[in-house]
């Protein structure tokens, strides 16, 4: 038997918040079915790890293909794509934090030991491991490939 937890609703967070402005009250969610979007703090931990992995990836690729001009150009194009890959969501996140009254950054969910994901609830460390496992695997794999390439 599983015990399902109820998703937080607007009423769970409106009362502990400080007094909202008239503009925020006017734009507030009006139905009980709508839920508040909260910052669970995973991006603050996993984001820098992912950025570090991609920086290491492009550094290893640049060192590996330094002698070949066309390959180095491909690495540079990929690095620019990587910057865009992280910059666009960061800009959207900042825009959302300023304009969306449903977005609560300092919610109690940032210190919870469990987080809610699309597949259910899991511990915070398990969720972070799932987020960063692919970038770490890519860096390790490409580094091993670069070592093998240099031995040829």
Residue 25 within any structural domain of the chain: no
pLDDT band at 32 (very low <50, low <70, confident <90, very high): very low
* Cα separation, 12 vs 10, whole angstroms: 5
Instruction: Outline where 15-123 has alpha helix (H).
Output: 22-26, 42-64, 69-99
Smallest CA-to-CA distance from 86 within 110, 63, 52 is with: 52
> Is pTM beyond 0.85 here?
no
Domain count, the chain: 1
Composition of the chain by helix, strand, coil, percent to 5:
60, 10, 30
Residues whose CB is less than 8 angstroms from the CB of residue 97 and which lie 6 or more positions away in sequence, other chains included? 103, 105
Has residue 99 been placed in a domain? yes
User: Quick check: is 21 in a domain?
Assistant: no
User: What pLDDT score does 68 carry?
Assistant: 82
Which region among 41-45, 80-84, 128-132 has the lowest average model confidence (pLDDT)?
41-45
User: According to the model, what pLDDT value does residue 53 have?
Assistant: 94
* Contact between 46 and 132 (Cβ < 8 Å): yes
The predicted pLDDT at position 5 comes to 63
111-149 pLDDT tens trace? 678 887 778 888 888 989 999 999 999 999 999 998 998
Residue 23 falls within a domain, yes or no? Answer: no
């Amino acid at each position: 038997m599983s015990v399902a937890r109820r998703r937080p609703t607007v009423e769970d967070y409106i009362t502990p918040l400080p007094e909202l402005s008239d503009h925020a009250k006017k734009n507030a969610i009006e139905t009980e079915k709508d839920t508040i979007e909260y910052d669970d703090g995973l991006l603050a931990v996993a984001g820098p790890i992912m950025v570090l992995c991609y920086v290491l990836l492009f550094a290893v690729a640049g060192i590996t293909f330094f002698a070949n001009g066309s390959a180095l150009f491909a690495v540079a194009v990929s690095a620019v794509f990587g910057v865009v890959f992280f910059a666009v969501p960061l800009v959207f996140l900042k825009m959302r934090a300023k304009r969306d009254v449903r977005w609560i950054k300092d919610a109690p969910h940032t210190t919870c030991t469990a987080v809610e994901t699309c597949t259910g609830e899991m511990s915070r460390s398990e969720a972070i491991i799932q987020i960063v496992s692919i970038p770490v695997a890519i860096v390790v794999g490409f580094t091993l490939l670069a070592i093998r390439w240099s031995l040829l």
